[in-house]
Every structure is written in structure tokens, then in C-alpha cells.
Amino acid sequence: MRWISLVVFLVPVLSVWAIPGQAQQDLPIQKNRLNVHSPILTIDSDRIFNESAFGLRVARDVEVQSSVLAAENRKIEAELEDEERRLTDQRSTLDTTAFRDLADAFDQKVQKTRAAQAAKGRSLSQMVDQERSLFLNAAGPVLEELMQDAGAAVILERLSVFVSANAIDITDEAIKRLDATLGSGKN
């Protein structure tokens, strides 16, 4: 009876050891550079943009342009404050109508300046959106290759998935491959 129990136990165990070796011999060798094989993968698209060489270059460009815009805003603000002080000083020497005309003109100048500077800020935001769109379009073939390597049918946004195993997250690998393929996006 003991031997029967031992045989019943060992046959499945030995089968498990034998099948993978046999299966490996029968299957063609796949060029799977990923350590994951899953029909579903997840990715953090914010991370692949923000942590890739492309995204880091965009962040540096935005930082430089934002600094230039901030310096320009400070300069304009100082000039407007000086102009306002001069206008205030003239108040006592001008009649009410003349002062009101100058004050209204100054107000319009301030409004136009604010609108122009706000447009520059929006333009900077639009540039980031355009760069991100270019990046995601260029990332498509790299992500498709990752899907093929993993035998996946779909890549889902990690933040949209309620629960998943970390093993199916390919964000780090995507960043490596995108850096190798796209670099900073500037030649």
C-alpha cells in the first residue's frame, strides 16, 4: 500500500519535471527578451514619458523656457510698476480728464501685456502636449515589439487597472527600449 501511494505521488512529480524539458525541445526558441509572458501587460504612460530621455529633454526645454518667461514677466512687472508710479506722480499736475485718459491707457496696456504673457504660458503648455503626442506616436512600434516579445494581445494603462501583478508591468523595459530607439527626440 505504501508503494502504491509513493508511485501515485511520484508519477505526477516526475511528469512535471519531464514535461518542461520535452516541451522546450519541441517548441521553437523564441526571441523573448522580456521575463514576462502574458496576454495582458500594463504600462504607466506618464512614467514612460517623464522618465525617458525624450521626456527628460522636454522637461529641460520647458524649464529653460519657463525661466525665460518668468524673467520676462518680472522685467515687465517692474517696468509697469515704474510707469504706474510716474502716472501717480502726475496725478496732481493733470486735470481729471487728462489723468483718466492716461490711467485708462495704462490699464489697457496692462491687460494686453497680461494676455500676451498668458498666451506665452499656454503656448508652452501646448508645446509639451505636442511633444508628448509625438513621443507616444513614435513609441507605438516599440510597445508593439514589447507586446510580441511577451506574447501579449493588449497593453493597458496601469493606472486604469484595479489590481494586477507587478510582473506584467513593462514600464521600465519600455523606458529602456524607448531610450535606445528614440533617445531625446533631437538629433
Question: What is the rounded CA–CA span in Å between residue 160 and residue 162?
Answer: 6
Residue 17 — φ and ψ, nearest 5°? -70, -35
Residue 119 · residue 53 · CB < 8 Å: no
Structural domain that includes position 92: 2-182
Question: What is the rounded CA–CA span in Å between residue 116 and residue 92?
Answer: 32
Cell numbers 520676462 correspond to 72
Residue 86 lies in a domain: yes
Q: What is the pLDDT of residues 20-44, one digit of tens each?
A: 343 333 433 344 467 778 899 999 9
Question: What is the rounded CA–CA span in Å between residue 118 and residue 132?
Answer: 21
Q: What is the percent of the chain where pLDDT is above 70?
A: 82
Residue 187 lies in a domain: no
Q: What is the pLDDT of residues 112-160, one digit of tens each?
A: 999 999 999 999 999 999 999 999 999 999 999 999 999 999 999 998 8
Q: Residue 157 class from Cβ within 10 Å (0-12 exposed, 13-18 middle, 19+ buried)?
A: exposed
Residue 61 — very low, low, confident or very high, per pLDDT cuts 50/70/90?
A: very high
Residue 183 — φ and ψ, nearest 5°? 60, -140
How many separate domains does the chain show? 1
Residue 170 · residue 34 · CB < 8 Å: yes
Instruction: Give the global pTM.
Output: 0.70
Residue 26 lies in a domain: yes
Residue 141 lies in a domain: yes
* Max CA distance (Å), the chain: 119
Q: Is 30 left (phi over 0), alpha (psi -120 to 50) or beta?
A: beta
Q: Which residues contact 94 (CB under 8 A, 6 or more apart)?
A: 102
- CA-CA distances (angstroms) from residue 150 to 27, 49, 78? 16, 21, 59
